[in-house]
Structure 1
């Protein structure tokens, strides 16, 4: 080992990464690597907004954002299969049962392939009857070939959806830094291509859709092939390892994740569609700008949470409750730093908006303030949602998520139609219907952990 490496590892800050429980060390390494990736992702994300706005315009960019938000609806149509696989795979790996792990992976790919095939087939049948100009509240004079654009985008996304199952393998092996790098790498390549296109002619939504659709697909495909031929060759999916008897085992937990995701998607991802319908496509842009700006808070904190899900799964399976409680205390302390940083972002928000997107897009202080509150509560609640997800205690979270999703859209319509609020009502209603994580989760999971401690003591 060179002297430089020795000095680097003996640095107090760096050495703290290598101290503590092996599980903590793995988590800290992933967190440090993820911070670097997310930092580049944030910079890239801001640049991509600027370049794309210059390539298109505010209205067509708003239309693209609305189409993109529909992807998220589809991405949860695996009925929680990916998240169920993640937990079951982590348990199998913790117990060194790699044959079982291979069966879980092979069976999950087979089931997801069937689901994707059916979904794509249904979409192909209904596509000719969909009036996308009415759905997106726009006109043919603004965007040509909208039907063709959506067909290309949705078809490519179905393939991405299938390939993305692989990221759950990385999470199960606690390699979250690699898993979260796919988005930033894809966006960086997209940024370069869009910038080049903007230099050689006027922007078209079709070209943007082609680039945004196929770049992530190719990266996921190449990565999956590489890892299953090298690092994870022993558990790579094979036809003779498909055993449908494991479907119930994977989906028993996965269905709960699916219902939680549906609730979240209605509350979090329907915003662009609601804004487009209630206020027009152009208003999607200021909402999206504020959402992305303050989303830095949750993005940064999620870097710390991402490796914790599978770490919680392993610790719970091995009855290491003291590690879980210690980790929760440390995460709670970080919420104060996130909050102070958020206040700083709010103070300088107008200045940053002006530099970022100019004076043409107006973002109110009310919208910015609500975005700050939303991201702080989302970050804090994420601690307890991650713990609940990791240990598989998600039934209460599922029930509250469904209730929140049922009342969300009527609540938005009430604020807009009867109280005459603007786009601020969208994010306010999202905050008001996010109950489990920030409010109920801490009490629910304390009860669950205390019960687990008693069971461990009783079994001696």
Structure 2
């Protein structure tokens, strides 16, 4: 392994972290400032509806059949082998395939939208049925357009420029902050208007990134054609990622739906505020881990096991600091939330503690999942993800209905469903590295 390749990979990783600190920090700050403005603009109950709507919107990204993650791995692998022509063919096939899927999903959703009661789905009569339908239709339309344009984030990951993904998030969050402030000043509460503003901001960030990327990497501009010999490998890897993503959807994205159905949309607000507070830890940890995905891909295909082990050891040292931060945040959460949202906004300390435990487990899993994703060795993840997907919702009902745990029971159920991964993923990493991963 040439030493200059090893050193440059490490230097680029550190550069991406430095860039992400600035961009992600700004994005998180804008997101936090927007929460009290949204609650003030919409009210607690309508904010709960909006938060649930964002969850439904996020489901769209799971319909790419894992193509985005497969594209990231295949492009990174091709570039590691100095084969830019093959990388461009993968990009062309991915963009063409996702465009076709997005159009089909839009047609299907438009038909579906007029066949269901959105008031029933959101468990509310606070917003008129037609207004809910319009808000969802606007939001999903923007999400599906972004579904296609957003492939650029996979490409930025593949070329190890993940800090720019955070720049796109900064643009989106700052736009949303300004938009909700202006809506609060000049408009009555309207989820439809908020959907428009949020959609424009979401799209704008990825349009900016796409223009930059294809100017910087002109040789990778897609030709918009489907090639079976490139679609098949994308889907072969992608389907496994898709199942994992589907499991993530069940574990991470159904909580708000369950809370809405079991307790009412007003209870989503407390859950959202507590999770948003602890997302500081999640965002910072993801910011550090995410650039490693394609760096691991590069190192793995160059057989640089020593570098991979060194990075994993560094991540485990960082994790001990994450745990300390989580414990500190549990103690400070009531004070922080009272200052941030207001004294009249009560939070349960048990919910705070359970969210902290959930974040501790997810960050632990992420350390090993990123390495396995980069290497394309995701079979164990696939099995543990399916197990989590099957057990999460039954566990949630058990915690709520049998043990009477309230909203915290839903969080605990999600945490328990992730314990399979917490045990098996480190063992898979150890096996993959030939027993060289004596990490601690």
TM-score range for the pair, normalised by the shorter chain length: over 0.9
SS at match of 1:145: helix
Give 1:49 deviation, angstroms. 0.2
Work out the CA distance in 2 between the residues paired with 1:428 and 1:189: 34
Tell whether the 8 Å contact from 2:117 to 2:129 is kept in structure 1 after alignment: no
Give 1:451 deviation, angstroms. 6.9
Tell whether the 8 Å contact from 1:94 to 1:314 is kept in structure 2 after alignment: yes
Tell whether the 8 Å contact from 1:380 to 1:437 is kept in structure 2 after alignment: no
SS at match of 1:216: helix
CA-to-partner distance for each residue in 1:290-327, whole Å, 9 max, x for gaps? 11111211111111101000000000000000000010
Matched, 1:445 2:429: yes
CA-to-partner distance for each residue in 1:219-258, whole Å, 9 max, x for gaps? 3224313432x1111110014x642221111111111110
Structure 1 residue aligned with 2:48 = 62
Work out the CA distance in 2 between the residues paired with 1:105 and 1:94: 16
Give the count of matched residue pairs.
Answer: 434
Tell whether the 8 Å contact from 2:309 to 2:436 is kept in structure 1 after alignment: no
Give 1:43 deviation, angstroms. 1.4
Q: 2:119 aligns with which of 133, 144, 168?
A: 133
Give 1:361 deviation, angstroms. 2.4
Q: 1:121 aligns with which of 107, 117, 122?
A: 107
Structure 1 residue aligned with 2:217 = 232
Tell whether the 8 Å contact from 1:60 to 1:142 is kept in structure 2 after alignment: no
Structure 2 residue aligned with 1:302 = 286
Tell whether the 8 Å contact from 2:64 to 2:101 is kept in structure 1 after alignment: yes
Structure 2 residue aligned with 1:37 = 23
RMSD, matched Cα: 1.8
Work out the CA distance in 1 between the residues paired with 2:232 and 2:429: 25
Tell whether the 8 Å contact from 2:119 to 2:127 is kept in structure 1 after alignment: no
Distance 1:141 1:70, change over 3 A: closer
Runs of 4+ in 1 over 3 A off after TM superposition: 140-144
SS at match of 1:77: helix
Work out the CA distance in 2 between the residues paired with 1:71 and 1:125: 16
Structure 2 residue aligned with 1:145 = 131
User: Which range moved further: 177-186 or 163-172?
Assistant: 177-186
Tell whether the 8 Å contact from 2:388 to 2:420 is kept in structure 1 after alignment: no
Unaligned residue ranges in structure 2 (runs of 5+): none
CA-to-partner distance for each residue in 1:326-356, whole Å, 9 max, x for gaps? 1000110001111111111111111111111
User: Which range moved further: 141-150 or 151-160?
Assistant: 141-150
CA-to-partner distance for each residue in 1:100-149, whole Å, 9 max, x for gaps? 01100000011111111111111122221111000000105577611111
Structure number with bigger Rg? 1
Work out the CA distance in 2 between the residues paired with 1:31 and 1:218: 23
Distance 1:105 1:19, change over 3 A: closer
1:43-442 mapped onto 2 (5 Å cutoff) = 43-140=29-126, 145-228=131-214, 230-239=215-224, 242-442=226-426
Work out the CA distance in 2 between the residues paired with 1:407 and 1:377: 16
Structure 2 residue aligned with 1:15 = none
Distance 1:318 1:436, change over 3 A: farther
Tell whether the 8 Å contact from 1:381 to 1:441 is kept in structure 2 after alignment: yes
